[in-house]
Every structure is written in C-alpha cells, then in structure tokens.
Structure 1
Amino acid sequence: MSYQFADSGAEVLVVIDMFADRLPEVLPKTKIKTVVTVKISEFFPPIVGGVIRIVQKVWSRTLPKVTVPHTKFQLALAAGRKAKSPNKSESYLKGITSDSIAALQYTGGTTGVSKGAMLSHGNLVTNTLQLISMCGSFMRPGKEVVITALPLYHIFAFTINLLGFYHIGGRNILVPSPRPPSNLRRAFENYKVTWLTGVNTLFNALLNETWFTDSPPKQLRASAAGGMALHESVSKKWREITGTPIVEGYGLTESSPVLTFNPLGGNGKDGTIGIPVPSTEVLCVDEKGKEVALGEAGELIAKGPQIMLGYWEKEAETNNTLKKGYLYTGDIATMDKDGYFTIVDRKKDMIIVSGFNVYPNEIEEQVAAVPGVTEVGVIGMPDDKTGEAVVAYVVAGLPAPTEEQIIVHCKKSLSAYKTPKKVVFVDELPKSPIGKILRRELRAGAIEKSKSTTGKGA
C-alpha cells in the first residue's frame, strides 16, 4: 500500500485501527499528513459495539496501539458538521463534471507494477447503469440482499456490489474473508441472500462444501462471476445445486470494470463472457490493429463511456493502452456469429509448445472437470525439446485423482501438444486478494524450485 499512497500523492488516510501498527513504517514513505482511524464496530448499537471491542482487545488481540498522530472517526465527523456551510458545499462541487476524476483505482499488479487508473464520475455512473440494464428484473429496487465476499477496494466489488446494489437500494452482507468457504455459512443461514458475486474459485469452493450442497440458499435468485474465467463444469454444477442462474461477465480496472456480460434472463452462453454492455464497442484485432475474421482469435479492444481517462502520471503506458479511443486489454478473445465473446487467455500467459500457441484457460477447463480436482493452475515451463511444456498444478480433494487419470482425461479432448506433460499436486495455489490464481507467481516459484533442484543434483 505504501507504493499506492506515494504514487497517488494522497495526503489523508482513513484506516481501520486494526492496521495501525503498520503506519509508523508506511507514513514516512508518503505525503500523508492526516490520519483518521475507524473502529470496525463504529455504527453498531452501543452494547453490540462494546462486545465487539472487548473481543478484539482481549480474545483476538487485533487492536494494536496507535502510535502516530491521528483523529478518531467520530471526532472527524463532528468537526465536519461544525465546519460545514452551504457556501463551502457549493465551492467543493465547483468545477466538478462527469469528466472529473472520481477515483484512482489501482490495477491488481498481477502482471507487473500496479498503476492508478483514472476513473471519472461519468465512467463509474455509466458502468453502474450499464450493468443494471443487463440484469433486468433480477435486480429489484429495494429487495436484493447480496453477499459481498470480495474486498470493496477491488473494482469488481466496488462498482457491482457497492455502487450497483446500493443504487437500487440493496443490502450488502460483507464477509471480510471468504477463506475458508465455511466463513460464508452464517451469512447464508442468517440472511435471505438473493445474490452472490465472486470468482470461479469461490463458487467452486462452495460446491465442495457439504453444508452448502445439502442445503443450498432458498432465496438465491442469481449469481455473477468475474475476475477470472468461470469454468463450465462449475457453472453447470452451480445451476444443478442451487436451481438459479449464474452468468459470467468481463472487464478490467481500466474499464470501470464491465465491458461484456451475459444477459440475465436472456440467451446466456456458458464459457463465454457475453455480449458488450450498452454503448460499448468491442472488437478482436491482430497485432496491426486490424479486425480479425469471425471466430478467429485476436486481442480484445473496447471503446465506450466507461473507459478510463488514462493512467495516473504515466503518459507512456497510457499511450500503449489507449489507442484512437480504444482500450487494448491484453486479452486474447474470439467472437461467435451471435456476437458473444470468449476469452482465450492473457497474451502474457500464452504457452508456446513447438511453435504452437497454447492457452492455459482451455487446459484448466478440462482439468477442472476431473472428479476430485478442487483448483488448478496451468503454466508453461522451459523444455529442451519443445521450448515450453504444459504443467498443471492441482489442489485435490477426496478422493484425489491420480496424475495418470488427469492426463488420460485431457487426451480425450485436447491435442497432444496441449495435454499436460506433468501434473503437480500442491496444498494451495498462489492467489490475489479476490481469489484469482496468479500464474505469474506460480511459474516464478516453479522455476526457482527447478533451479534449486538442478543445483543440488550437480
């Protein structure tokens, strides 16, 4: 976080006091002048809030001493109320338009250094309305209860759960940590949950929980997946268990984030990311920027009112990403005859086996369908004969499949060069805060381990 604070030039930090012990190290590296601390029990009734506070202090010991100058949240609110006036409110809004920057939303940094995407008020408002229009009657004003298991600082939860569901008067049930998935059990039991948003790993994890499959949520109406590819095996099983639709959308931090979505209640297609949301143009192009033929793979680019203004103080990177009004996503996709797009994979994740392009998503889809596979991440590893070889890293449940069973299954539907040369069983896979499997870290760890193993054998 210190990088983001410094890069953005932030001067005020509002932080939960549970993390106060990190401030002495972080603040000297930034321009932050004012710190406002917030209690997790801030707006609970006095008795409940008091109990939470005692538990934090005595039982969980999650309240470190605040050793830097700070203002408590309630005091900051009181000072604001005392200082407010009509004139000050008007001057605060003076010059603010739909093109004014509303937020610096930092990219996940999963493919390199995190960058601040400049999202305008217009970007965020438009994308909120675009999403709601794609959900139709499934987002009922004042009636929806959504479990928010993704952090609100992530653009998916920020726009969809916070802006979208609050705009229609919905209720967010916040789950600070969805791992292990049993953390969601009480939320499902105590609230009439009508919606769930998340990533493939979350939905798959719930489907491997007996308490969930034995008694699926009765009030659930719909679910939406994003952040990473939703495996067809997961979406099929989800519908079978819950009896409700689950659809996949697609977007990036740079697009606020939604670019495409499978229409709820419409003609959704498993395995696709849907069709462009209203007022959005999406194309697949070759390396020269020319649109490719129908069904042919190309880089997905997009133009629309939700596209960012650019990267904060990074002109060169902005120019590499925004060209002639189009956002170049770095994702390889295809479009079918009905206008539905399918993500093939990230350009940077592509594996080249004997000169053939291999995309991890396709292989992960097949491996995930093997009974007993809980999670899978596929990467390319250096190979003397083929340049790179496909390696699948698997987290297995019970009963666990064997390496041979996985490879035999893949051979039924994949070409020989796409079939994993090796399957490695691991206890866990590296993930981002929202549960997205980080192939870059997986590959770096695998290469490092390979080097150390080679060194020992020399």
Structure 2
Amino acid sequence: MTESQDAASVYDSKPWTKEYGVDAEFKLLPYKNLPELIRQVSQEYADNPAFSICLDNGLHAGLSFREVDELSDQFMAYLRAELGLQDGERVAIQMPNCLSYPITAFGILKANGVVVNVNPLYTASEMNKQLVDSGAKTLVIIDMFADKLNDALQGTEVRNIVTVSVANFFPTVKRTLIKTVLKLKKQIPKCEKPATDLADALAIGKKHLNAGKGKVSDNGNHDSLAALQYTGGTTGVAKGAELTHGNLLANIAQIDYINDDRTRPGKETVLTALPLYHIFAFTFNMLFFYRWGAHNVLSPSPRPVTNLKPCFEKFDITKFSGVNILFKGLLGEDWFRNNPPANLDITISGGTALHSAVAEEWKKVVGSEIFEGYGLSETSPVLACNPPKGEARTGTIGVPVPGTDVRIVDENDNPVPQGESGELIARGPQVMRGYANKPDENASALRGGWFRTGDVAVMDERGYFRIVDRKKDMIDVSGFNVFPNEVEDALSKHQDVVEVAVIGVPNDSGSETVRAYVTSSNPNLTAEEVIEFARQHLTAYKVPKEVVFKDELPKTPVGKILRKELRKEAEQNKAG
C-alpha cells in the first residue's frame, strides 16, 4: 500500500463518526421537496409564532406558521397565475431581514421557481451582473433601494418588479408610523420603474386562489433546482451555486442528526442577525429552525450591535448564530454583559474564523459555549461543525456532518497523512450540482466528483478539522508559509485590538512581508507595541513587520473581513 493509499484509508474510515454523541442511524428527511416540508410543518405548528421582526427602536410584529403558509401560497399564486412564472424560472429577492423575506422565498419555492438571493447593499452595477447571469425575470426588492433599478436592469430579462417594505405585516398604526419616519428621513426613494407593492401582489394572488388558479400540484423533486446562491467561490469571480431541493433537505437532515435532541420542537426562539440572503442564515436559521417549529426573530441589521438590544430584551432567545466580529461586539457592550440571555444554550459560529479569546470570553459571560462550524455556499452550506452533544474544540471547525466524505490532499490530489496540511475536498448530498453557466469552473471545482473548497486544513487523530487558511491568502516569507488566521488570532488577544486582518505584501526580495491592519480602542497604541506583543506569541518569521492602523476594515455583509480589498489597497499604494 502506498503512502497516499494509506492516507486515504484514514479519511475513508471516518474517525469523526465516533464524536457525534448520537447512536441513531442517519437518515435523510422524508420530504420530496421544500414546499412539502413547509406545508407539513405549518400545519403541525399552525398557531405558534413563526417569524417576528424586531426593529432597533423596539417596534416588533410577527406572523404565525399558518399565516406564513397562507401568505406564501398567495405569493405563489401571484407568480403563477398573474405573472405566468414557469417551472425552474428564476426570481431574485433583494431585501434585508424582514417578514416579507420568508413569505416571498417560500412562495417562490412553492411556485416551482428558483430563489436568487441578491445582497440589498449591492451597487446597481453589481445587481446588474447578477441579474444578467441568473436570467431572473422577476425581482422582489426592498423599496429603500428602488432608485438603483434604472441602471441595474439594463440588459437584464427582468420584466416584473415587486416592492416590499420593512413595515409590511405590522399593525396599521405601527406600519404608518414606520413608513412616515422612513419618508421623513428620505430613505424611501421614488421608484421610476413600474412596480407592484407586495400587499397588492398578495391580494391578487388570494383572488386567483379563490378562483381555483395558481395552485401548483408538483413542486419539484430532490433534483429540482431550488436556489442560485452567488459566491466568489475559490477564484473570486461571482458565480451562482446551483442548490437543489435535495441539497438543502440533506443539509437540514445533517444538521438535525448532529444536533440530536438539543432542539426542542416548538419551543425554541432563534435570533437571526445574519442576513437571510446569506446561505448560512438561509439554511440554518430559516429552513432548519422552521422545520422544528421555532420562533425566528429577525433583525434587519446587527450594525451597530446595539440594534440587537431590543431583540434580547423582548424575546427569550434560546439559539443564536453569528460571526466572530458580532460576538466580540456584543461582549463589548455593558448592557449585554450585565444581563446576558438567560436561556441561550447554543450559539453557532460560521462564516469566518472564531478567535479563541472571543470563544473563551463568551462562555464566561453567557455561560454556554460557541460551537464553531464550517461551510460554503456550494455545500448548502454546512460541511462540518462541533457537535453539540460531543466536545466543542476551540480552534477547530469540528467534524464532518454525517453522509459527508472529506479528504485533505496535496497539489496532485493525493491524500496527505493525518496531521499534515493540504486542501480540503468533500463530497456529499449537500454539495451543489454545479455553477450556473460556468462549465470551466465546474470542471475545476468538481474534479473527480470531489468539491475543491480552496481551504487549507488539518485533521487530528479524532477526526476534528482545523482550517489553516485560504490557499490564496497564504503568505510566503522566504519560503516559510505563514497563515493569516494564526497571526490574526494571536493579535486579537491584545486588549486594545478590536479587529485585525493580515496579508502578505510583495517585497523587493521576491518574498512577502507580513502586514497587519488593526483597528484599536486605544488611540495611543503604537505599531511597535503590536509587533512586540506578536513576538511573545509567534515564531519570528510570522511576526508582522508592518502594522497599519485603520478606523474600519472592509467587510462582507456578514462581517467577514475582506483581505482582498486590503491587498488591492496595498497594491494601489505601492503603485502610487
């Protein structure tokens, strides 16, 4: 047996299955598609609260499972009977977290359409690229950004526009108050394109249903496309990951299995601060918790983190998901530290590396652990997580979810021995069927039936994985590999460092210099002090040679720091 065959056998034996803490056999869910899940769950928990929206001023409103089912049926009928939506047709959704999101998303799925999630903060140019690539013919957009439509729709196939408001589904008085305040703040621009208000669309859909029109007898099967989830993937070029009903149902089942009995049917309240248009919140917060009859509290924006204060004050939050910067921000607030959520028993971290100092402080303050996980848009998204009934190992992404094959390979796709680093590749029922309109990308990313994540990882003897870094972010210091995550984790332990990002900057020797970008709570902190602190925690070649202080670091909407923007800035500064 060769070394690579021996290494492969280690991964194929799946040592991680011993860590689940669950004895039952893993099974996929019995539903043939997502609409079937939605309908059955809506009937089971009909009168329970399903979704609430909580604004930063404390105003809140909610919908029951029955109302969500009925309203999404109305939107389904509007799409099918009024707009003539065909099976597999793309419908773009562009809005922050609000009650209109699950109504429209579920309605699209029920109508046999495909959900295309669009970041509401996109510029008109960014919107245009995604709308052109997806081929969407209908766009559901928040009214606050309707002024982008003239430029965004140039050359697209979009023919139908539905506008929504964060005030939708509030009682009349509160709805009027919210809309008045938004107009006074000039946050509702004039829409210069013909558009239908969501309330009117639902009323039209209801009439069609009453007339026996707009119902869909077949909502697709496991192989039917459910969502186009756009991502930079492994190359940085935006592309739509094709996620089927089977992909998403499989990932719900995988999370379900590893979670076991840590979710109480009909009794959980989950706070959704991450945007539902992001795959993590889409699958985990919305679909997974809907299946369990949970009450989902939606925050339109967690920035600043004080926006979440009324959510924690008005609702008994038992489950929470977020990213490192969000947890750190909450820990810096006296109102949170002095009165942490009493019944919050599971917090899930994803999207970006969880810093050990944040994880430790969270446990001290909240009394329960953060369970770090890992996934990508291409994997629906969860590939691995720390098992709630097993050990939460800080600094790791946990173990692969059931039904998933994972290997770590070298540049020639040969499995590397346990304990050595290489690219993490995976296959399983949650892995996308491919990128839309990207045959060359598919040939590269899905080579040999395995999905290439582009992440460098290490597996220990128990099957726990640790993400070392992105392949493209690795820094070459005179032949030594430096992983930004490790340096960032070390610097984040400094009491005055709020945020940190590390990149490699090419130097005259043909090597790279480690540069740290830092935001600090102490205006008197110096670069020399940061470097000296790093020397106490890192080998000499990993210590930053340069420290740049900034007021803010560039981030994605979910709080992931954009190193590529910092690299671009460094290149421009050097050229200038």
Q: TM above 0.5, one fold?
A: yes
Is 1:307 matched with 2:431?
Answer: yes
1:209/1:111 CA distance change after superposition, 3 Å: farther
Q: Corresponding residue for 2:205?
A: 80
- 1:149-228 residue pairs with structure 2 within 5 A? 149-228=273-352
What is the CA distance between 1:51 and its match in structure 2?
1.3
Is 1:46 matched with 2:176?
Answer: no
Q: Cα deviation per residue 1:146-178 (whole Å; 9 max; x = unaligned)?
A: 221111110011111111111111122222221
1:56/1:413 CA distance change after superposition, 3 Å: closer
- Conserved 8 A contact 1:353-1:386: no
**One of 234, 243, 264 as aligned partner of 1:140:** 264
Q: Cα deviation per residue 1:396-420 (whole Å; 9 max; x = unaligned)?
A: 1147643233222322332211111
One-letter code aligned to 1:82: K
Q: Corresponding residue for 1:254?
A: 378
- Conserved 8 A contact 1:16-1:39: yes
Q: Corresponding residue for 2:452?
A: 328
**One of 86, 107, 110 as aligned partner of 2:231:** 107
Q: Distance in 2 between matches of 1:92 and 1:133?
A: 28
Partner SS state of residue 74, structure 1: helix
One-letter code aligned to 1:240: K
Q: Distance in 1 between matches of 2:447 and 2:490?
A: 36
Is 1:98 matched with 2:222?
Answer: yes
- 1:256-405 residue pairs with structure 2 within 5 A? 256-385=380-509, 387-398=511-522, 401-405=525-529
Q: Cα deviation per residue 1:381-410 (whole Å; 9 max; x = unaligned)?
A: 112246101011111114764323322232
Q: Cα deviation per residue 1:97-154 (whole Å; 9 max; x = unaligned)?
A: 2011001111147952210000000000110121122223332211222221111110
- 1:3-18 residue pairs with structure 2 within 5 A? 3-18=129-144
Is 1:67 matched with 2:187?
Answer: no
Deviates more, 1:315-324 or 1:174-183: 174-183
1:137/1:355 CA distance change after superposition, 3 Å: same
Q: Distance in 2 between matches of 1:99 and 1:110?
A: 24
1:90/1:174 CA distance change after superposition, 3 Å: closer
Q: Corresponding residue for 2:550?
A: 426
Q: Distance in 1 between matches of 2:548 and 2:248?
A: 42
- Conserved 8 A contact 2:269-2:316: yes
Among the aligned pairs, what percent are the same residue? 51
- For structure 2, list consecutive stretches of 5 or more residues without a partner in the other structure: 1-126
1:339/1:242 CA distance change after superposition, 3 Å: same
What is the CA distance between 1:227 and its match in structure 2?
0.4
TM-score in terms of structure 2 length? 0.75
Q: Distance in 2 between matches of 1:90 and 1:211?
A: 49
What is the CA distance between 1:83 and its match in structure 2?
2.6
What is the CA distance between 1:92 and its match in structure 2?
5.0
One-letter code aligned to 2:139: L
Partner SS state of residue 61, structure 1: coil
Q: Distance in 1 between matches of 2:228 and 2:559?
A: 22
Q: Distance in 2 between matches of 1:72 and 1:428?
A: 37
Q: Distance in 2 between matches of 1:332 and 1:233?
A: 22
What is the CA distance between 1:208 and its match in structure 2?
1.6
TM-score in terms of structure 1 length? 0.94
Q: Cα deviation per residue 1:72-113 (whole Å; 9 max; x = unaligned)?
A: 2122222223334768534553xx220110011111479522
1:148/1:36 CA distance change after superposition, 3 Å: same
1:144/1:254 CA distance change after superposition, 3 Å: same
Deviates more, 1:48-57 or 1:401-410: 401-410
Q: Corresponding residue for 1:27?
A: 153
Q: Distance in 1 between matches of 2:394 and 2:156?
A: 46
Q: Cα deviation per residue 1:418-441 (whole Å; 9 max; x = unaligned)?
A: 111111111110101111000000
Q: Corresponding residue for 2:37?
A: none
RMSD: 1.7
Is 1:451 matched with 2:575?
Answer: yes
- Conserved 8 A contact 1:372-1:399: no
Q: Distance in 2 between matches of 1:245 and 1:142?
A: 23
- For structure 1, list consecutive stretches of 5 or more residues without a partner in the other structure: 453-458
Partner SS state of residue 327, structure 2: helix
Q: Distance in 1 between matches of 2:269 and 2:232?
A: 27
One-letter code aligned to 2:173: I
Q: Distance in 1 between matches of 2:258 and 2:173?
A: 42
What is the CA distance between 1:44 and its match in structure 2?
1.1
- Conserved 8 A contact 1:371-1:401: no
What is the CA distance between 1:67 and its match in structure 2?
1.7
Q: Corresponding residue for 1:36?
A: 162
- Conserved 8 A contact 1:199-1:230: yes
- Conserved 8 A contact 2:234-2:453: no
What is the CA distance between 1:330 and its match in structure 2?
0.4
Q: Corresponding residue for 2:560?
A: 436
Q: Corresponding residue for 1:456?
A: none
Partner SS state of residue 540, structure 2: coil
- Conserved 8 A contact 1:372-1:400: no
- Conserved 8 A contact 1:373-1:400: no
Partner SS state of residue 445, structure 1: helix
- Conserved 8 A contact 2:128-2:154: no
Partner SS state of residue 409, structure 1: helix
Q: Cα deviation per residue 1:190-247 (whole Å; 9 max; x = unaligned)?
A: 2111122111111111112222222222221111000011011110111011111111
